[in-house]
Amino acid sequence: MKEKDGYVDCPEQQLILYVEKSNGEYGPIQTGSFITANFLDDYYLKRDHLVASLKEKVERNEISPIHYYLILEDLTIPELAARVKLCRWTVRKHLNPKYFAKINDRELTRYAVVFNVSIHDLRSMISPKNEDRKI
Amino acid sequence: MIIDSYHHRMAAHCESGTIASLLGHAGLEITEPLVFGIAGGIFFGYFHKMKSFAFPTFILRNKPGQIRTNLEKRSGIKFRTYCFKTEESGVKKLDELLDKNIPVACQVDFFYMDYVPSWERVHINVHFMSVIGKKESTYIISDCYFPETVELDAGSLLKGRFAGGTMSPKGFLFHTDQIPVSIDFEKAILKGIKKTCFNMLNIPIPFLGVKGIRMFARKVMDWPKFARDIEHLSHEIMKINILLEDQGTGGAGFRFMYATFLQQASDMTQNQELKRMSEKMMEIGDGWREISLFSARIGKNRDLGPDRLKQLSEMIYEQAEVEERFFQELRKSIL
């Protein structure tokens, strides 16, 4: 890749790209992220749609807030179980709103740490990922 | 308290960049591509179904941690490593090392790094960065993905260091221990290249190396079966671009960085054949770049019918063919 083709204007996300410089030497340049510069609005559009559809399911009592975060953070049940240090069958139960209602605070705290939210946010499904939205 | 003599520099990849910076601080000036190449970092693996991934995915480098261990094996450099059973002992050791003015590399879950923009943060337990100081309740971090040093809350660092799940860091720390007076770089480079060729061509597992690229080409056609809806599929297809370009690869899934390594290796070993191979690798990188731009474009346009996926699959197949020929030639060029 030639140096002149490598530059992208994106101050929000800078990265290093290895390119062919004008003297034929290969080396690093500091540039911006192509996908963040061009497609971040599309990412947020899809995320908003996903959040809306999942919230609707929680309101209809089809899924629990833990299931909501599981999908939103792209985790799997075995991975989440390993992170919260609970048996995967227990985690599977907590995805059901019926069992989520009975969950104790000790277990809920473990989930809150993994999703990086407070217990209150976990119950009301507020994601920290919307805080520093640029677009 | 900050280690002032530590020179923060940006790098393409977290593990090789952190190691190059730590070695630079210890007095050994070594470039990031050289660390990456000697350690045989370039790789390919395709994972169609794995319990830790919610969707099929692929990797472009060797196992996290192997850049350090392979570099140790091939160059004689020694790193001191630590793992911890409790959070308290992990914090105590980190503070002790910082008190001794030793910059320490940490393995963390990227999700808890509050200084990273939210859209980039994902649960991945294999991010490396250096801790170079402490101010009351924050640590000073030199993360090679960022142009400047940043501050991170002690609580967030602790969460990142002791996150559970696949490849959990268990508070892992390392720092430079011994650097040999003279390093036989020529031997290390040749060993690195030899191992890379083996990894790409001869591992008898159908989803690793060049076979993995072919499997990726074949299986990408099945991706719609795994998606919830068109927007989910679009997100996953656009992630091909992110994995190839954005997640610390230096562009084109480490291929541009490897081309740079081969050019530097050619100068160090006086092997002109390696220079020719570096040019070829740059062209291969351009091919991967085309794939990543194509994926971003069809994902954005939601143009994800069987025809488009077939086109994507053919482009990936072509890369498999080209890379197979390349690594066979590379192996011959160092004999």
Domains present along chain A, CATH in parentheses: 3-32 (no CATH), 61-127 (1.10.260.40)
Q: What's the confidence (pLDDT) of residue A135?
A: 40
- Closest by CA to A21, choosing from A8, A35, A7, is A7
The answer to whether the CB atoms of B296 and A27 lie below 8 A apart is no
Query: Which of chain B's residues have a Cβ under 8 Å away from the Cβ of A27?
Result: 260
Q: What's the confidence (pLDDT) of residue B9?
A: 93
User: Is pLDDT above 90 for B230?
Assistant: yes
User: Is pLDDT above 80 for A20?
Assistant: yes
Query: Which of chain B's residues have a Cβ under 8 Å away from the Cβ of A19?
Result: 251, 256
Rounded-to-integer distance, Cα A113 and Cα A115, Å: 6
C-alpha distance from A101 to closest chain B C-alpha (Å): 25
How sure is the predictor about B136, in pLDDT bands with cuts at 50, 70 and 90?
confident
Query: Which of chain A's residues have a Cβ under 8 Å away from the Cβ of B287?
Result: none
Least confident of A117-131, B47-61, B112-126, B246-260: A117-131
Per residue in A95-112, pLDDT tens? 999 999 889 989 999 999
- Closest by CA to B191, choosing from B183, B182, B180, B179, is B183
C-alpha distance from A82 to closest chain B C-alpha (Å): 5
> Average pLDDT over chain B, rounded to whole?
95
- Closest by CA to B109, choosing from B160, B168, B183, B165, is B160
Interface with chain A: mutation pick from B21, B36, B52, B118, highest number of A CBs within 10 Å: B118
The answer to whether the CB atoms of B251 and A1 lie below 8 A apart is yes
User: Is pLDDT above 90 for B62?
Assistant: yes
Question: How much is the average pLDDT of B215-219?
Answer: 97
Question: How much is the average pLDDT of B166-170?
Answer: 94
B304 touches chain A (CB under 8 A): no
Question: pTM of whole model > 0.90?
Answer: yes
User: Is pLDDT above 90 for B179?
Assistant: yes
Query: Which of chain A's residues have a Cβ under 8 Å away from the Cβ of B263?
Result: 25-26
Q: What's the confidence (pLDDT) of residue B267?
A: 94
ipTM tops 0.90:
yes
Interface with chain B: mutation pick from A8, A19, A26, highest number of B CBs within 10 Å: A26
How many CB pairs below 8 A link A and B? 139
Which residue is closest to B260 within chain A, CA to CA? A26
C-alpha distance from B183 to closest chain A C-alpha (Å): 23
Query: Which of chain B's residues have a Cβ under 8 Å away from the Cβ of A132?
Result: 117-118
Exposed/middle/buried for B97, CB within 10 Å: 0-12, 13-18, 19+? middle
Question: How much is the average pLDDT of B172-179?
Answer: 96
Per residue in B63-90, pLDDT tens? 999 999 999 999 999 999 999 999 999 9
Q: What's the confidence (pLDDT) of residue B1?
A: 79
Per residue in A52-77, pLDDT tens? 999 999 999 999 999 999 999 999 99
Distance from chain centroid for Cα B11: 11
How sure is the predictor about B49, in pLDDT bands with cuts at 50, 70 and 90?
confident
* H-helix segments, chain A: 3-6, 34-59, 65-72, 77-84, 88-94, 97-100, 105-115, 119-124
Q: What's the confidence (pLDDT) of residue A134?
A: 45
Using CB atoms, which residue from B111, B145, B235 is nearest to A15? Answer: B145
How sure is the predictor about B299, in pLDDT bands with cuts at 50, 70 and 90?
very high
Query: Which of chain B's residues have a Cβ under 8 Å away from the Cβ of A78?
Result: 51-52
